[in-house]
């Protein structure tokens, strides 16, 4: 059996992320999502949307917001490659994503992304506002260094 890309609803992608992702919750929205299956079993998902960072949201940049797999070999690379192809077909001229400190970036290099910037740890989104603290939790990449990877 080989891996294959499959269409997926946002609801199904979010359910998979909620069940399998080690540190992030499902995203709140997206431009598109895809799955990767081994036979009839869903083994990974990718969601892509507008860049979270306002300075990157120029209308031509797409952000891969989440990839999540059950650990199946090559599933993550297949998802990034498919997301890149779909993003280009939709007219996006730049695609970016972030990985956390300790991740190798091998998947990024395998699908043609390059390291753009090393980012220092930051607090959670709710750190600077009492109002936000009441509605958001600190789950996410707060407190961890990250890298921004881009294509092309």
Residue of 82 and 21 predicted with greater confidence: 82
Number of helices (H) and strands (E) in the chain: give both, helices first.
4, 7
Answer yes or no: is pLDDT of 18 > 60: yes
Whether the link from the prior residue into 152 is cis, omega within 30° of 0, is yes
**Mean pLDDT score, 111-139:** 68
**Mean pLDDT score, 84-91:** 97
DSSP one-letter code for 27:
P
Domain ranges of the chain: 3-151
Query: Which run of H or of E encompasses 26?
Result: none
Residue holding tokens 């990449």? 141
pTM over 0.75: yes
The pLDDT > 90 percentage for the chain reads 68
* pLDDT band at residue 138 under the 50/70/90 scheme: very low
Answer yes or no: is pLDDT of 137 > 90: no
Task: Classify domain 3-151 by CATH number.
Answer: 3.40.630.30
Residues in contact with 110: Cβ distance below 8 Å, sequence separation at least 6, in sequence order? 77, 80, 81
């Amino acid at each position: 059996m080989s891996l294959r890309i499959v269409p997926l609803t946002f609801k199904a992608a979010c359910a998979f992320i909620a069940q399998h992702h080690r540190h992030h919750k499902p995203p709140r929205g997206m431009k598109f999502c895809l799955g990767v299956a081994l036979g009839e079993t869903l083994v990974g998902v990718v969601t892509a949307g507008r860049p979270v960072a306002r300075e990157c949201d120029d209308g031509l940049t797409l952000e891969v917001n989440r990839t999540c797999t059950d650990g199946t070999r090559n599933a993550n690379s297949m998802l990034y490659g498919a997301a890149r192809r779909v993003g280009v077909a939709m007219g996006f001229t730049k695609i970016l994503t972030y990985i956390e400190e300790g991740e190798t970036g091998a998947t990024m290099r395998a699908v043609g992304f390059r390291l753009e910037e090393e980012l220092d740890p930051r607090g959670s989104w709710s750190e600077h506002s009492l109002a936000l603290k009441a509605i958001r939790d600190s789950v996410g990449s707060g407190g961890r260094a990250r890298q921004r990877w881009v294509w092309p």
